[in-house]
Structures are given as C-alpha cells and as structure tokens.
Amino acid sequence: MELIYELSRPGRCAARLPECSVPPAKAKIPARLKRATPAALPEVSELDVVRHYTNLSRRNFSVDTHFYPLGSCTMKYNPKVNEQMARLDGFCQLHPLLPQLRNGGILTQGALRLIYETERLLAEITGMAEMTMQPMAGAHGELTGVMLMAAYHKKKGNRKKRILIPDSAHGTNPASAAIAGYSVTTIPSNSQGEMDAAALKRELTDDVAGVMLTSPNTVGLFERSLRDVVALVHSVDGLLYYDGANLNAFVGRVRPGDLGFDVVHLNLHKTFSTPHGGGGPGAGAVGVVDRLKPFLPVSRVVKRDDGTYALDYGAPDSIGYIAPFYGNFSVIVRAYTYLRMLGADGLREASDYAVLNANYIRAKLKDEFDVAYDRVCMHECVFSAARQAEHGVHAIDIAKALLDRGYHAPTVYFPLIVKEALMIEPTESESKETIDAFIEAMRGIARLSRENPQALHDAPVTTPVGRLDEVAAAKDIILTAG
C-alpha cells in the first residue's frame, strides 16, 4: 500500500474554492509563528483520500472486525444504538457553558438529568452512596479515589503515610497513590493467587491510609479473604479502595459497597460501553460511602424540589475540580444508554456469560498451556507459556502468531506475578463458535511450538508490517520523519 505522500501529484486537489469576495483580514500571523517554508502536504484528489483512509482502516484490528481477547481491558462489542444516542444533536451540539436554568437553560436540563440518573444507577449497582462522573479515565478515577481518601484522613487529623497494594493489582494503582502523596507498600500474593493475609497483617499499622484492591484481581480470581481484609483495614481507620476495571465479572452479582469497600472507581468505557482501543475516550466514575460524600469533586448535579436539575458548588470540604466541566459526557451518554437498555436482568446475564466464557477457555486449553492458578476464575483466565518456552517459544511469539490467524493478541507478560503470562478475557459478547475457533488456533500454536518453533519466531507473516526488532526499536527511537 502506497503512502499518501507517494500518491501525491503536484497541483492535484480535492476541492476548488471560488475567489474570496470579501476583503482579506488585516490581522497577520506573527513571523515567529510561521514556518520558514510551507508544510509539505500531499496533493491528492478526493477519491485518493477516501480510498487511502478506507484501505488503511481495513488493516486495523478492532472489536468490529476481529475477536479481541485483551485481558483486563474488556474490549467487548457494544450496541451501535449507544453511538447513535451520543450523536443526537441535543447532546453532541450542546455547549457546557450554556446556562443551567435562566435564558434558555432548558437546553441543558436533559444533559444534567442524564448525568444525575447515571450517577444514581451506578450508585445502586456498586452499593455506594454517591458518585461523581468527572474523572476522564480509569487511572484518573484511581487518582480521584485516593485524593478523596487523603481528604478524609486530613479532615480527621489522621497521620497516614502509606497505601498497601497487592502485587496482583492493576499497574496504575501505585502511580495514583504516589501522585496523591502516599508511599506504596506491595503485598505479595500467596500460592492461591490471592493477597497474602499474613503479609497484610504485618504491614497494617496506624500509618496506613488504606488498601487498593482490584477485584477480581489481575489473575482473574476473587479474593476469598476479603471480609477479613475489610475488618483489618477498618480497625486502623483505613479505607478500602475498589479498582473497578474488572467489574464486568461482578455486575448484578456483587456490590463492592456490600463487601465493605469505601471508594469505588468504574471504567464506564470497559463495563458499560465504548471500548477504549486507541487510547480513549474514557470515563472513570468514582463512588463513595456516606462519610466520604463531603469530599467529592465539584460541581455536583442535584435535583431540585421543583424537578429541575442544577449544579451545586456548596461543598467546602470538596477536593475541587479534577476535570473540565462534567467529564467525558459522550461516554456517559453511551453508558446510560447501555444501562437502560439491558436493565438489571440483562446486566446480570452479561456478567454470567463473561465468567462462563472465561472458564470455558480455561478448561479447553489447560492441557496445552499451564494455568497460572487452576481454579474457577472470573471473567478472565491467565495461562503461562512456560511449557512452550522449553521449546524456545515465548508469550510474545504466541501473540504474534495469533495475528496471522485473525485474532488480536491477549495481554502478555502481565500480571507480572505469572511467568510468560497470557491473560485472556473473552467477554460476554462472543459466540461459542468464535471462542471455539480461537481455542483451536491456540491449540494449533501450541502444537507448532513443539514441531516447528521457527514458524512462530517468524510470525506475523500476513500483516502489513512483519516482526519488528523490538530491542533495536527501543534503543534507537526515531521520533521525527526524514
């Protein structure tokens, strides 16, 4: 496929504009802001542009074109009606600075109501007292959650310095805790893939602000000692933070608030629509129990006695704004649509199928790949390619070989506590036929690792770009063209 610059021909253009019929503007761009020479943009026809980008898009992997079993990222297909709702003129053409009530403020009432109702639905699902929709990504929600914890301890005069995080947590948890001003202590996993309760007890002193838990954890397992953990942390006036990146396994079955968590962040773009491939957009809604409500970010959407909706800034203990306006509103619209369409029964059924599909893959592949922890998992299963590594084939080779077979690779080398990790999350959206075909592809790769390892070292051979020298790319990074 030629680059668009290679298609370029001097003088060719996609549109011809009539001569300007109004006097040119007097304002000029300062010379210091102008290029010394004009930008070398390609000169192509409209048809060249359309074909180039259409053909380029067909080379991409996406949820709409391929099975995407990316562990812990919940890259599931979502109904197109969610996209249609986000594109409604009343939503996508709405400016965040329009008045709430006066002078045409009726235009914003639908948006404010949608935010308010989404918060109430998510509060019910998670067992929290209140939610904020401001955080604009999962990690942003993590940071917001830890900031709320810090504000709570500061208000009480607690001298808390540390956050405890298990080694099976999501990788952004330590960064969020550090940015919020805490030092991080890692709690190791036990032989069952759960947080080591004895190690937790040793570290749980009065200077601990709280524990950040991913549940199910990143090996796809439920922490069976969770009630004991909650009691221990609360005994030192610590707080329990729930990383909701894996909530797709729990929706309709378990509420984090009922388990004893004090702060919850949700990835709306994972569990409730808008798969987050390509880096965004996201929404990391955060929920809290009653005693943390005063610290939530402003502004808050409130429902007045007359049934109208408005923004409330009256929160003296608030941590303030953590995002412009009201977060990624279009993602909230998609999540609201998803929640209302599925309802309680549909959400519960989605979780059931997510867990069923993961356990089906675990059972079908455990004779070819080592299972990290061979017990019933939740929405994702984690294998190890240690057996294949004996033949010189590593997790990265398996990932590349899957591309040749029409499947996006699962997460590899994470979680770090599993050697040669392969983390697979099928989601509830995939059919048995698709999952069976993926299983056969994995079994074929396992056989090839024994019979012809070099074929896997050469993969991928069918993609536009073949195997790259990753070591050389890391050492010699080229950030500019030419």
CA atoms within 13 A on the CB side of 307: 1
Neighbours of 56 (CB within 10 A): 13
461 domain-assigned: yes
> 265, 289, 290, 298: which is closest to 141 by C-alpha?
265
- The gap between the terminal CA atoms of the chain, to the nearest Å, is 19
Which two structure tokens, joined as six digits, stand for 345? 């029964």
Are 186 and 278 within one domain?
Answer: yes
CA atoms within 13 A on the CB side of 304: 10
Torsion angles phi and psi, residue 47, rounded to 5: -65, -40
Are 204 and 124 within one domain?
Answer: yes
The range of the structural domain enclosing residue 259 comes to 82-341
Q: What is the pLDDT of residue 210?
A: 97
Query: Exposed (0-12), middle (13-18) or buried (19+): which is 316, by Cβ within 10 Å?
Result: exposed
How do strand 286-288 and strand 130-132 relate by DSSP bridges?
antiparallel
Are 187 and 326 within one domain?
Answer: yes
Sorted by sequence, the CB contacts under 8 Å of residue 446 that are 6+ apart come out as 368, 369, 388
Are 127 and 187 within one domain?
Answer: yes
Which two structure tokens, joined as six digits, stand for 482? 């030419």
Are 52 and 101 within one domain?
Answer: no
Which two structure tokens, joined as six digits, stand for 68? 């995407």
End-of-domain residue from the set 314, 341, 368: 341
163 domain-assigned: yes
Are 430 and 353 within one domain?
Answer: yes
62 domain-assigned: no
End-of-domain residue from the set 300, 316, 341: 341
482 domain-assigned: no
Q: What is the pLDDT of residue 324?
A: 83
22 domain-assigned: yes
Q: Helix (H, G, I), strand (E, B), or coil: what is residue 462? A: coil
Sorted by sequence, the CB contacts under 8 Å of residue 404 that are 6+ apart come out as 459, 460, 461, 462, 463
Sorted by sequence, the CB contacts under 8 Å of residue 228 that are 6+ apart come out as 197
Are 114 and 222 within one domain?
Answer: yes
Provide the residue-wise pLDDT of the chain in tens; the chain has 482 residues. Answer: 888 999 999 999 888 888 888 887 777 888 888 888 888 899 999 999 999 999 988 888 888 888 999 988 888 888 899 999 999 999 998 888 887 765 555 788 999 999 999 999 999 999 999 999 999 999 999 999 999 999 999 999 999 999 999 998 888 999 999 999 999 999 999 999 999 999 999 999 999 999 999 989 999 999 999 999 999 999 999 999 999 999 999 999 999 999 999 999 999 989 998 876 655 678 999 999 999 999 999 999 999 998 999 899 999 999 999 998 888 999 999 999 999 999 999 999 999 999 999 999 999 999 999 999 999 999 999 999 999 999 999 999 999 999 999 999 999 999 989 999 999 999 999 999 999 999 999 999 999 999 999 999 999 999 988 998 888 888 888 777 55
Q: Where are the alpha helices (DSSP H) in 103-171?
A: 106-126, 138-156
**How far is it, in rounded angstroms, from Cα 296 to Cα 289?**
11
Q: Domain holding 139: CATH number?
A: 3.40.640.10
479 domain-assigned: no
Are 397 and 416 within one domain?
Answer: yes
Are 125 and 157 within one domain?
Answer: yes
**How far is it, in rounded angstroms, from Cα 49 to Cα 3?**
11
Are 207 and 129 within one domain?
Answer: yes
pTM equals 0.89
Crossing angle for the helix pair 329-365 and 106-126, nearest 10 degrees?
30
Split into its structural domains, the chain has a count of 3
312 DSSP β-pair partners? 300
**How far is it, in rounded angstroms, from Cα 474 to Cα 482?**
19
How do strand 208-214 and strand 239-244 relate by DSSP bridges?
parallel
Q: What is the pLDDT of residue 480?
A: 72
Q: Helix (H, G, I), strand (E, B), or coil: what is residue 249? A: helix
**How far is it, in rounded angstroms, from Cα 285 to Cα 256?**
14
Are 180 and 308 within one domain?
Answer: yes
395 domain-assigned: yes
End-of-domain residue from the set 21, 41, 57: 57
68 domain-assigned: no
Write the DSSP string, 15-66: --PPPP-SPPPS----GGGS-SS--------HHHHHHHHHHHHTTS--TTTS
Q: Domain holding 461: CATH number?
A: 3.90.1150.10
Are 351 and 337 within one domain?
Answer: no
